[in-house]
Amino acid sequence: MSGMHEFHVATGRHVVTYEPDGLPAGVITGYVDEMGGFVVEHVMTFRRNVLRPKIRTALRGPWPFAYAVLHINERHHRCTNLQSLARWAGFVEYAPTWWVMYPTLATATAGKES
């Protein structure tokens, strides 16, 4: 049907809200996979210039997951920028379009440009 919107409701998801000054500035959503890792589904910002600080804050905070994984679709119009951001945040590409971050390693390497 033309013009109809599809909605998908997912269960078992985590939503991490970034509130640097007590007001929401963005969220990261995802789920825990079968091996205890966090699969990042969405990274959203509500204000300009909060994406990098949000990721850095999330990496330095308490992290109850063994690792984090994200998928960057090569067809995304900002793929190169997203790959650069992932690398900056401490993720490494382990397979085409898939990136992984281990919290201990990421804390030591986050913010270093390659």
> Average pLDDT over the chain, rounded to whole?
80
Q: Is residue 51 situated within a structural domain?
A: yes
Q: pLDDT tens across 44-57, in order?
A: 888 877 777 777 66
Tens digit of pLDDT for each residue in 24-45? 888 888 999 999 888 988 888 8
2 belongs to a structural domain: no
Burial of 83 (0-12, 13-18, 19+ CB in 10 A): middle
| Domain-located, residue 114 | no
The answer to whether position 6 is within a domain reads no
C-alpha–C-alpha distance, residues 83 and 73, integer Å: 10
pLDDT number for residue 90? 83
**Is 5 part of any domain?**
no
Please tell me whether the overall predicted TM-score, pTM, comes out greater than 0.85 for this model. Answer: no
CB 92 within 8 A of CB 71: no
Please report the sign of the dihedral spanned by the C-alpha atoms of residue 58, residue 61, residue 101, residue 64.
negative
The total domain count for the chain is 1
Tallying the residues shown for the chain, one arrives at 114
Does residue 9 fall inside a structural domain?
no
Domain CATH code at residue 89? 3.40.630.30
Question: Does a structural domain hold residue 8?
Answer: no
Structural domain contains residue 82:
yes
Owning domain of residue 84: 14-109
Between 68 and 60, residue with greater pLDDT: 68
Residue labelled with tokens 């409701």: 9
